[in-house]
Structure 1
């Protein structure tokens, strides 16, 4: 197969016959946006899946929040971490999934560059918060089983500090793309955004490596080893 590069700024007829013009348009679309367009049926399936995730995720986590507020017996130190996970997941459904759901219905991203950066930021930020909270929760359960604790009264200070640290740490690694270190861009079918995985620059590569080491591999390994 020829590896010739098509210049999308020129007329398609310079390279293609009428029979292959549609193919060349698709090639130009993919190479210029970095995304692969789905068929109409594909967008319908994607919309249904996102709608289910958005609705079920919001309702489920909102119920957890209501139960936590209603029953004082649930307000234990360890449940503070579970509440943090529920809040971050619910915020993803509200501020992130709703945007990709609406875009999937229309078959294209609807909110432009600024909206794409916002979507990529909130999904990355809330996702990392949930990941860190799960690791802290695992460590707490490990400590409970292996360390003898004679304290009669629950200690809320450590969980609250852990919750605050999870948000600060997440912001440290998700704000830089908004300030110029890498960026957030369209991905997949062109109806959602994430870190620019395909940009081939030293800055982008450095950010992706740091993101994997300090936000994914590091915490995943910690969780497995506990």
Structure 2
């Protein structure tokens, strides 16, 4: 017998199977798109365009960097780090959201949603932090001695390493209980849970906003204004 509208909070041993079915249905519903077929088609076309050209452009940058030694300057290493993180988004992120948009639902389950949210958050923050490091490096170069410094490679390598560790520091917590990754928007993508109003979730969102958006943005603005 199928009983609709089962409350999961009232599950007991006698109705555990029924609650499990209801939980599966609620989970499945959360991974279905809220857009119309036309809306999904438009999103799929945009994602296909962005994913294809993003992949080709960033791949071209990496190929040129590997092929021509003259391009292997310290400042270009930071640009390569940005291209690499953007390329990873096009490889491990965009194809899944594109496929979900074509089918009108998320296709790779809860674990895939968590992986998608974590990976895209990680690579996105890496790009943003790298831009902040790039801006500050340009500012330091313009304000410092004009003579070439052989230690620039070491400084840039530290900046790249910092961008990845800093990003991991802010994208790993949802995997361990501080907020969580789940469906977002129309249901064909996944990210941090932006809607939950619990103190656990709100505190993470605020910290993410301050430390991964506001601070890098202020560094970029500060460095750019003083550079000019």
1:69 alignment partner in structure 2? 66
Q: After superposition, where does 1:69-88 map in structure 2 within 5 Å?
A: 69-88=66-85
SS of residue matched to 2:139: helix
Using the alignment, how far apart are the partners of 2:6 and 2:220 within structure 1? 49
Kindly indicate whether the alpha-carbon contact (under 8 Å) linking 2:180 and 2:193 is maintained by their aligned counterparts in 1: yes
Q: 1:197 to 1:35 in 2, by over 3 A?
A: farther
State yes or no: 1:143 paired with 2:134. Answer: no
Using the alignment, how far apart are the partners of 1:153 and 1:188 within structure 2? 47
1:96 alignment partner in structure 2? 93
Give CA deviations for 1:144-197 in whole Å, capped at 9, x if unaligned. 222224246463100011101110110010011111110011011100001001
Q: After superposition, where does 1:195-210 map in structure 2 within 5 Å?
A: 195-210=192-207
How many angstroms does 1:140 deviate by?
1.4
Q: After superposition, where does 1:31-46 map in structure 2 within 5 Å?
A: 33=30, 37-46=34-43
Number of aligned positions between the proteins: 201
State yes or no: 1:111 paired with 2:108. Answer: yes
Q: After superposition, where does 1:115-130 map in structure 2 within 5 Å?
A: 115-130=112-127
Using the alignment, how far apart are the partners of 1:159 and 1:148 within structure 2? 17
Using the alignment, how far apart are the partners of 2:121 and 2:180 within structure 1? 12
Q: 1:38 to 1:154 in 2, by over 3 A?
A: same
After superposition, the CA RMSD in angstroms is 2.0
SS of residue matched to 1:194: strand
Bigger mean CA deviation after superposition, 39-48 or 138-147: 138-147
Please, which runs of 5 or more residues in structure 2 have no aligned partner? 8-25, 224-228
Please, which runs of 5 or more residues in structure 1 have no aligned partner? 1-6, 11-28
Kindly indicate whether the alpha-carbon contact (under 8 Å) linking 1:77 and 1:154 is maintained by their aligned counterparts in 2: no
1:213 alignment partner in structure 2? 210
Give CA deviations for 1:23-44 in whole Å, capped at 9, x if unaligned. xxxxxx8xx7398611100000
TM-score (norm 1): 0.84
